[in-house]
Structure 1
Amino acid sequence: MSFSGRLASWPAAGVLLALAYVAGLNAVAFAPQADSVAAWWPAAGLSVGLLVVQPRTRWPVLAVAIVVVTGLASITAGRDVGVTALFSVGNAAEALVAASILRRGSDRAPVLDSSDVLVRLLIAAVLGGAAVTVVGVLTVALTGTAGPVSTAWTFFTSHTAATLIIVPALISPPLRHRLLVRPTELALQAATLIALTLVVFSPNQDLSASFIPLPVLVWAALRIDLRALTWELVAFSVVVTLLSANGFGPFGFDYERGAISASTLGTLVQGYLLCAMLLTVPLAVAVHQRRRLIRELARSEKLTNATLHTIPTMILVTDLYGEVVRINGGTTAVTGYVESDLVGRPIWEMPFAPPGSTGYPAGLPDEPDGHVSRETDVITNLGRRRRVLWNAGYVRDERDRPTHVVISGTDLTRERRTAGFNRHIFEAAITTALIGIDTDGRITVFNSGAANLLGHDAQDMVGTPFTDLLDPDQLAERTRTGPGEPAFAHLVAGAETSGTATPRDWIWVDADGRHHTVSMSLSAVTDSITAHYGFLCVGRDVTEARASQEMLIAALEKERLAVQRMRDLDAAKNDFVSTVSHELRTPVTSIVGYTEMLEDGSLVEPAPAQVPLLESIARNGQRLILLCDDLLTLSGLDSGVTSWERNALDLASVSTGAEDALRAQLVGRDLELVIAASARPVPVLGDHGQLERVLTNLLSNAIKFTDDGGRIEVTIDAHDGEARLAVADTGVGIPAAEQSGMFERFFRSTTAQERAIPGTGLGLSIVAAIVAAHGGRIDVRSAHLEGTTITVRLPLAARPTS
């Protein structure tokens, strides 16, 4: 039973209501005495989660319980009874709205294991928060206990953040029996998060370092289970809220010295926690979906391989160009050739094909859903000749377009080696049905193979119509005859004209009424002077072969669908990251812009005590903007929507913009920066802005990872027919064992982690993508504590001739 399933009981409901009471009591206790609105309200998330995991039939009772519990918490903490009653009704309304959206008519609690549930959670949190905000604003407007604008912000941020942080912990998928990472990594991640949180939110901490714990939560989203991340996020939110309310950390420090109000403190903290959730939970859901699809694909591939290798029939799969892409163990058993001898070669160049053969062994079906059969010889790797009955059919996609050809072959060598075409074959043929038919369509000979196949006595069948053996519906459909019409004449028309009708699969009905798929061929029998006196029917039961072929086709189809789902998920993940990054960047840009206006006194001259606060907001806002820009850049590169300019430019020209962009980063640092550009132009074709970003990212890394007193040198020149841009520093370097992964996303060297050097690990991956798009390459020369030299080499553009 899942975790949310265990919560769907009355005792669990009582526990959640008790937690809501304790949370509400503490939230009111931390609220300012002059304000009737609590700046944080975890009881909202617990109330929504309570209704989400409980059956719908209990919602009316539980909604009343929410009103009572939240109201009792506020009254116990000394709040006004009238205001408390209205607020409590708003809490219940919020829980009902959010739970209804999350459940969406379902009788079971949702599980946060897909992007659809995540989007519903976001919508539910926003609409639930809006519902309680409306009730709260109307309440304070009637009572005059607080301002409507501040009330709206406080209500919306605190309730939305509580829902988005607490509800995922209640509906996330259960932990797997075996962790995806080692316990040591989980312990290290948790210890790192605890340590960084306590350092960033320690007493008298006025540094703008609130972003530092976020990469550790991203670590959990990428590497550890989704359930573990959601509970870490809940614990992180409780600790950050409590420490900030007590005056600790960058938010609490400003509140403690009176720079911001208690309601502003609550709004900032809840907004910060909301950003942490939006940064990590969607990523964790996408990673969870990807892992699940990989497991399904592995199971599907295992089933396909097992199906292929347990069938004794020869199976070869080719693409539409005739290249063999897979064989089974039966093929090796019959021919002696292993997979490496056959896969990757055209079907008409198979080493087992007899001399002079061309094309597919059985040909290709004329009808989309048809099958074709043909017997040919096969030459084994030891030079022995074997007789094989080939069948071929198409594998089709969801649009009914052919994607592959499946060829199955049945070894008939033993049957063909029996001597004597007449009496001996008729008596010894156990698996092949041989039936003689006169010109009127009646059976004259019924061998033991036919008797074993159909369960009829041979003597009883002589004189009966041959068409009685065939499925009547299929016979009528293929011969286009109605009841009572002579279907046999249509059946043997091809044999009378050419002597042998094309082999075709037919459904035969045995004595017990069971259906068998039989590969049947009809041949005209003539005497020495070509007098036509009957027909010979040769039939072989291919029911199992056709079933095996259908199993293979189904397995291949399932595998294709799993691959397509993975591609769709990857595209959805890229779209979601791009959307979230874009939506975060817009408000952050506005915050930074207004902050700069306050700093330079465009609106009003700031007080001296406010200047550090404004600078702190601007710095953190710029960090968030850079993070959003990196995510948007990577998303654009993944989806292929990034447009590139292709202009002729001097590579040395990118140094000016990069130097200007990093001038602020050099303030207060004792570093020697030398830019040595060639006196002659270094012409390249490319996007000036993107190439400038390459140098900016490389220089930014060099500045961050070089201690004061160090030297950074940029060299731009043409060398060995290539444009060369090299950034060398005397910094901490990169261990040789870690250099292979330094251009992957979120790469952080152990040296950077030990020294707690900030960064997201996205800069070098962006550099690699831009350089690759320009047809260039990157060389790295580095060692631990011995500095780093990164050299970008680009194709030189032809200089214009005079």
Structure 2
Amino acid sequence: MWNSARGQLSLPEAFVVLGAVLGAGVLAIASAPEGSTIAIWWPAAGIGVALLALTPRRWWWWLVPGILAMTAAANLIEDRPLDLALWLGVANASEALVAAVFLCWRRQGPPELAGFDVFVRLLVAALLGGITMATIAATAIAFLVDGSFPQTLRSLSLSHAASTLVILPIVMAPPIRRPRRLAWELPLQLGVLIGVTALVFAPNQTLSLEFLPLPLLIWAALRFDLGIVAWELAGFAVVVILLSSLGHGPFGFDFERGEVSALGLGAVLQAFLLASALMALPLAISVEQRRRLLQRISSSEKLTSATLDTTAAMILVTDLYGEVVRVNGATAALTGFAESELVGQEVWDLPLAPPGSSGYPAGLPDEMNAQVSRETDVVTSSGDKRRVMWNTSFVLDERERPTYVVITGTDLTPERTAAGLTRHLLEAAITTAMIGIDPHGRISLFNAGAVNLLGYDGQDMVGTSFVDLLDVDQVAQRCHGATGEAAFQSLVAGIESAGATPPRDWTWTGIDGRRHTVSMTISIAADTFAARFGYLCVARDVTEARASQEMLIAALEKERLAVQRMKDLDEAKNEFVSTVSHELRTPVTSIVGYTEMLEDGSLVDPAPEQRPLLQSIARNGQRLILLCDDLLTLSGIDSGAARWERNAVDLSAILAGAEDALRAQLAGRQLDVVVMSADAPIPVLGDRVQLERALTNLLSNAIKFTEDGGRIEVSAKVHGGEAWLTVSDTGIGVPVEEQEGLFQRFFRSSTAQERAIQGTGLGLSIVAAIVATHGGQIDVRSAHLEGTTFTIRLPLARG
């Protein structure tokens, strides 16, 4: 299986690993003992095999020459002859290619090191690669530098095989998990391994204690993931090789004394590393397999538990001696007995056992692969009786030997109850007609509802044709002229895919000749195993209902016409108001203009007694102009003709403009007007002119309905993600019971009418319309003679 946790190398990563081949080769040659023509360990071999195994094969055509070049360069850096360096490069590249091809045969990347078969594959790949390299290199050394072919072959085979066997597990190991125990155990084990290794391979340490680190590697193999073991093994190998090549430890001491040659030292070290790898890696693989097996067993156990607990049927598991070892949740839920009351008892001694039971409810099957079934009564913890279908069978092991007995109980009580209820419904005097029909269209069941509807005797109708109940003309029209059984087959055509015919009105004729309109549905009648044994017709008398529907349809049609007429009248009213307002505004504007000219003496100076008359004319003319403007605004809103801008508007700036616009209305009044502007801009999205008009209308009402000496407050603020514009006064207020109609057109409160305060009753309706078109709301808080507070809430403009 491909190691998905590591994946293939990218192109930059491949170049980095190729550079590592060069670095590892230089380091290996530099650390070779004095007098040795070859390195005692060659980590570049394992790195080269890993490089090919972790890259796409389409890259091998340049990676193999790259490994050759890097290996040859490493030998040239250490002043080896050019011809020998090239031969060693060819040997290393061939080794990497042979080992990678064998390891990744018919695979994309190396297999995951999770089984002994893969470990054997790795071991064979390492040996094949080592032998390939050693054969080519030993031949070159024998001819070019007069080296010993057998000794070189033995030493290089071991060193390169050990390198591959130590380094490849790092990239082939499964992904490393991080269990909690690693938080303390891994640092402890690693510290002890480092300390013991430093002690065993210390300078001038001559005791043969090289076996001491091996139990620590076994510790890692037993406790940690395979990936951790692979890394520790590689690090241990590097440390042992370096220290031994410097003459430290028992291996290096023998070399320094001359008891072992350089080739002999290499062979001993490679044998030691191979023994360490062959001891630690298989053990780690075995532990990894055991962990995965335990995971599968745990998952299987969880799946079994989930299956048992989510199954609606009762399940009891007993041993071969009849002792209950497990029950599922449905058993406890259905019987009312807790699991602890059932587990551990003999199956025939259970509190839910059928009365007089002396064995398994359904008995034991005669054959191992068979099962037996039987119905019995079960007594629940509350004393109720349930009807249960029991099935008993053996659980067999892989050798077909019985290990457990499984008893499954299906509660049939609802089905039995439903069957009795169905029989009762068919025989009861209900108004719904239910008629059973056989596959040939003959009546097999005629319930009391059908008898009550048509008046026929139920027994007499059995065996007659169902089509004879239907109106002849309807059958001929809807069944394309067919009669008898052919007409019935036409009725049920297509019922297989649809499941039932759609409800449809038919005319049935009773025994007294009376015609009934019925809504009829025909469906397939089948048993539990979908074996069809006929059809079921369900019909309901809808004669009166259809008559009522026709009357209702006629009434609704009249209502629709009336509503349409009212809409036409409303549109005509709006058009009339708009036209009249336009026509009135022009002459009224002229009247006001000429009156102002007469008043200011532009033509002739008016007499003193004429000025009040001219002022009255101008004032009333302005009222008519405002009335026309209000009517035109409302008409535009109703018709949808009003086109308002949608720009960012600062509510704080609107307050100052509204105060200036009402300054003339405040002249001569003794009112305390307080405008509280916000410290920061309050942006909303809307039409500035219309928002100013809404605020002006509210302020105008506050001035109009507040007596002298009163107070008016205007404020704008941000509250709860909304912009609030509030106008509050201490005026005459609005009675609570009249506030529902406050925003209706031409509404005038009783308080305003009693005090004869002038107004058209259109201002608040215009305010409400403006606020609604801006997506906001307007709230009012008022009471009789207790003042009024209007709050406009608008959504803030998003930045």
State the TM-score, normalized to the length of structure 2: 0.52
Is residue 237 of structure 2 the alignment partner of residue 268 of structure 1?
no
- The percentage of aligned residue pairs carrying the same residue is 49
8 Å CA contact 2:33, 2:246 repeated in 1 = no
How far off its partner does 1:511 sit? Answer: 4.5
Alpha carbons 1:36, 1:145 under 8 Å: kept: no
Once the two structures are TM-superposed, the CA of residue 93 in structure 1 deviates from its matched residue by: 1.7
Matches within 5 A, 1:560-639: none
Letter in 2 for 1:257: R
Structure 1 residues 15 and 63, CA, compared in 2 at 3 Å: closer, same or farther? same
SS where residue 181 of structure 2 aligns?
coil
Q: Deviations over 1:29-60 (max 9, x none)?
A: 23356543222111111111111222222223
Decide whether aligned partners of structure 1 residues 132 and 182 sit closer, same or farther in structure 2, where only a CA change above 3 A counts. closer
State the Cα distance separating 1:401 from its structure 2 match.
Answer: 7.2
> 1:303-354 CA deviation, whole Å, 9 max, x = no partner?
2212211223212234566554421011111223333443455544443222
Residue pair 1:354, 1:379 contacting (<8 A) in 2 also: yes
**Counterpart residue identity of residue 80, structure 1:** P
Question: CA 1:510/1:121 → structure 2, altered by over 3 Å: closer, same or farther?
Answer: farther
Q: Deviations over 1:56-114 (max 9, x none)?
A: 22223221111111111111111122222222222122112211222131123311122
Return the alpha-carbon distance in structure 1 between the equivalents of residues 67 and 253 of structure 2. 34
Is 1:160 the counterpart of 2:158? The answer is no
Counterpart code for 2:221: A
The equivalent of 2:248 in structure 1 is 248
Q: Which residue of 1 aligns with 2:238?
A: 238
Q: 3-state SS of the aligned residue for 2:317?
A: strand
| Aligned-partner SS, 1:376 | strand
- CA gap of 1:259–1:418, structure 2 versus 1, over 3 A, is closer
Q: Deviations over 1:460-493 (max 9, x none)?
A: xx989xxxxxxxxxxxxxxxxxxxxxxxxxxxxx
Would the aligned equivalents of 2:49 and 2:164 in 1 still touch at CA under 8 Å? yes
Q: Report the counterpart of residue 351 of structure 2 in structure 1.
A: 351
Distance 2:446 2:322 in 1: 40
Which residue does 2:121 correspond to in 1? 120
Match of 1:564 in 2: none
Asked if the contact 1:181/1:224 (under 8 Å) is kept, the reply is: no
Other-structure match for 1:224: 224
Is 2:60 the partner of 1:59?
yes
Specify the alignment match of 2:317 in structure 1.
317
Which moved further from structure 2: 315-324 or 382-391? 315-324
Letter in 1 for 2:149: P
Amino acid at match of 2:116: S
Match of 2:215 in 1: 215
Please tell me the residue identity of whatever aligns with 1:273.
L
Secondary structure, in 3 states, of the residue corresponding to 1:182? helix
Instruction: For structure 1, list consecutive stretches of 5 or more residues without a partner in the other structure.
Output: 429-433, 449-461, 465-508, 515-536, 543-802
Partner of 2:142 in structure 1?
141
Q: CA deviation at 1:13?
A: 1.6
Distance 1:38 1:415, change over 3 A: closer
Q: Secondary structure of the residue that 1:242 maps to in structure 2?
A: helix
Pairing of 1:302-341 with structure 2 (within 5 A)? 302-318=302-318, 323-341=323-341
Q: Do 2:35 and 2:262's aligned partners in 1 also have CA atoms closer than 8 Å?
A: no
Distance across 1 between alignment mates of 2:136 and 2:95:
9
Equivalent residue letter for 1:48: V
CA distance in 2, matches of 1:85, 1:169: 29
Give the structure 2 partner of residue 103 of structure 1. 104
Conserved 8 A contact 1:4-1:171: no
Kindly provide the CA deviation profile for residues 189-241 of structure 1, in whole angstroms up to 9, marking residues without a partner as x: 11111111111111111111111111111111111221111111111111111
- CA shift for structure 1 position 540: 5.2
TM-score, structure 1 as length reference: 0.52
Q: Is the 8 A contact 1:395 1:404 kept in 2?
A: yes
Which residue number corresponds to residue 41 of structure 1? 42
| Distance in 1, Cα, partners of 2:321 & 2:447 | 42
The residue that corresponds to 1:172 in the other structure is 173
Q: Is the 8 A contact 1:419 1:425 kept in 2?
A: no
**1:148 counterpart letter in structure 2:** F
Partner Cα separation in structure 2 for residue 443 and residue 94 of structure 1: 89
* Residues 185-200 of structure 1 mapped to structure 2, 5 A cutoff: 185-200=185-200
**How far, CA to CA, are the matches of 2:138 and 2:296 in structure 1?**
49
Question: Quick one: distance in 1 between partners of 2:68 and 2:415?
Answer: 84
Match of 1:704 in 2: none
Task: Give the direction of change, closer, same or farther, for the CA distance of 1:33–1:422 in structure 2 (3 Å limit).
Answer: closer
Deviation at 1:441, TM superposition (A): 13
| Letter aligned with residue 217 of structure 2 | L
Whole-angstrom CA distance in 2 between matches of 1:426 and 1:330: 33
Contact 2:202/2:249 (CA < 8 Å) preserved in 1?
yes
- The 3 A distance-change label for structure 1 pair 399 and 437 is farther
1:250 Cα deviation from its structure 2 partner: 1.0
User: Hey, what's the Cα distance between the residues in 2 that align with 1:303 and 1:210?
Assistant: 48
Q: Give, in whole Å, the separation in 2 of the partners of 1:155 and 1:45.
A: 13
Q: What one-letter code is carried by the residue in structure 1 that aligns with 2:92?
A: N
Residues 212 and 135 of structure 1: CA distance in aligned 2, closer, same or farther (over 3 Å): same
- Highest relative contact order (Cα 8 Å, sep 6+), 1 or 2? 1
Contact 1:54 1:109 in 2 (8 A): no
Distance 1:29 1:437 in 2: 100
* Preserved contact between residue 221 and residue 281 of structure 1 (Cα < 8 Å): yes
Q: Do 1:125 and 1:160's aligned partners in 2 also have CA atoms closer than 8 Å?
A: yes
Matching residue of 1:78: 79
**Larger Rg belongs to:** 2
Distance 2:20 2:446 in 1: 83
Secondary structure of 1:444's aligned partner? strand
Moved more, 261-270 or 397-406: 397-406
- The CA distance in 2 between the partners of 1:263 and 1:447, in whole Å, is 106
Deviation at 1:258, TM superposition (A): 2.3
Equivalent pairs counted in the alignment come to 458
Q: Is the 8 A contact 2:53 2:104 kept in 1?
A: yes
Q: How many angstroms apart in 2 are the aligned matches of 1:415 and 1:376?
A: 14
- CA shift for structure 1 position 374: 3.0
Identify the residue that residue 777 of structure 1 maps to in structure 2: none
- TM-aligned CA deviation for residue 186 of structure 1: 1.0
Distance 1:193 1:385, change over 3 A: same
Instruction: Determine if contact 2:362/2:373 at 8 Å carries over to the other structure.
Output: yes
- What is the Cα-based RMSD across aligned positions, in Å? 3.8
In structure 2, distance between residues paired with 1:5 and 1:182:
21
1:376 shift after superposition? 1.0
Over 3 Å counting, the alpha-carbon distance change for 1:318 and 1:541 in structure 2 is farther
Whole-angstrom distance in 2 between the partners of 1:302 and 1:510? 44
1:92 aligns with 2:93: yes
Alpha carbons of structure 1 residues 32 and 194: separation in structure 2 relative to 1, 3 Å:
closer
The residue identity in structure 2 corresponding to 1:303 is: L
Q: Counterparts of 1:372 and 1:510 in 2: how far apart (Å)?
A: 38
Letter matched to residue 204 of structure 1: N
Contact 1:313 1:410 (C-alpha < 8 Å) held by counterparts? yes
User: Which structure 2 segments of 5+ residues have no match?
Assistant: 429-433, 449-461, 465-493, 500-524, 531-799
- Partners of 1:321 and 1:197 lie apart in 2 by 58
Are the structure 2 counterparts of residues 286 and 393 from structure 1 closer, same or farther at C-alpha, using a change threshold of 3 Å?
A: same
Say if 1:397 and 1:403, in contact at 8 Å, map to a contact too.
yes
Q: Distance in 2 between matches of 1:53 and 1:370?
A: 54
Question: Which residue matches 1:131?
Answer: 132
Checking the alignment, whether the CA contact within 8 Å between 1:36 and 1:79 is kept in structure 2 is: no
Equivalent pair of 2:3/2:111 in contact (CA under 8 Å) = no
Q: Which residue matches 2:413?
A: 413
SS of the equivalent of 1:206 reads coil
Given that 2:373 and 2:389 are in contact with CA atoms closer than 8 Å, whether structure 1 keeps it comes out as yes
Inter-partner Cα distance in structure 2 for 1:39 and 1:427: 100
Indicate the SS of the match to 1:409.
Answer: strand
Contact 1:180 1:224 in 2 (8 A): no
Check 1:420–1:134 CA distance in 2 against 1; reply closer, same or farther (3 A cut). closer
Cα distance change, pair 345–123 in 1 and its aligned pair in 2 (3 A): farther
Deviates more, 1:88-97 or 1:348-357: 348-357
Structure 2 match to 1:496:
none
Contact in 2 for aligned 1:435/1:538 (Cα 8 Å): no
